Amino acid sequence: MAITHKLCGTDPRVVDLEKQSAERMFRKKEGNLNELHMAQNLEEASYLETMFGLLNRVTEAKEVATTEIFQLEIAHLKAAQKNNAERAQHLHDLQAEAVLSK
């Protein structure tokens, strides 16, 4: 190794220092990328949490709407049954009146 350094005209300590500097820069960049990755994961988790919250609200609203529509249909059916019973009673009364007036 010493021969290589003498041929290149460099001090081995300079090469070691450059190597250490490069390793430190690599570790620093790696740490920055890890930090960026964690920030992106947090942002994505926050986004997903918001989306799931919205989906839950939509689902709850759909369930409430379905229940209300079902209750409305029941009310309409009961009203129709009541109207049919009243019509049947009115028809029966008219028929009875017609028979009596003959």
Structure tokens at 81: 């049954």
Number of domains the chain contains: 1
| pLDDT tens digits along 20-75 | 999 999 999 999 999 999 999 999 999 999 999 999 999 999 999 999 999 999 99
DSSP code of residue 9:
T
Label residue 5 by pLDDT band (50, 70, 90): low
pLDDT of residue 1: 53
Mean pLDDT across 5-13: 69
Between 101 and 85, name the one with better pLDDT.
85
pLDDT of residue 96: 86
For CA atoms 3, 6, 10, 11, the dihedral sign is positive
Mean pLDDT across 8-20: 78
Residue 26 CA to residue 14 CA, distance in Å, equals 18
Q: Could you list the residue range(s) of the whole structural domain that residue 45 is in?
A: 2-101
